[in-house]
Structure 1
């Protein structure tokens, strides 16, 4: 007697393929019967708090404003009044022999380069200083540096 050419493993693989194909056909039929969602079902509105809702907003609560009043971006440092251009900070590093150092700005926390040519008085590490910032070749540079 000859044995069957189909082993148990081959039968299992074929059964899995058949089941997968039937599931795929079933899903395809469900999708066709369900139809597409209408455009109205896909629309979402935002209320005044930024939450998503399906109801349109009430136009009586609508606020009118002038588009020119909206300021986009941050004002440039040149636009600031002169008293705001003078900054305060602490000398975090200063090498007297090489003539340069760094000042940590107390308001923004930025580390700003300072050269000995821009000093009005001698400074050391830990000194509180007032200074102005200008754009240098490699970034912001402190100028007109004075001790507080």
Structure 2
């Protein structure tokens, strides 16, 4: 699985003008299941992310985790993280898991992240979403498992 973590002071997801997920300080997590991924990949990613020290401590250094800060996570499925841009001008997405597998792994990722003690809000798998965020830092980190 691939993910992009964005440290945010706030973020929300809207569908057709209605907010379906919203957080204050924490992480916006864009996540994509790849061909060949299984539940173990989702669990490994969801277990690692809350422990990453990407939040400022009292000295202003990135030394605190999501668990340390009590921040929340807004998890949004994003199959475009599987984009292959190596040829031509149109990205290919064949490296992404098929939708039914992708949705299962997305939900498993969310469940595992929640089980780590993180407050989790979500987008809607496969929906056309408007994602609003205030990137704090900015801090944007790619991660794979």
Higher helix fraction (1 or 2): 1
Normalising to structure 2: TM-score of the pair?
0.19
Greater Cα radius of gyration, structure 1 or 2: 1
Higher strand fraction (1 or 2): 2
Normalising to structure 1: TM-score of the pair?
0.18
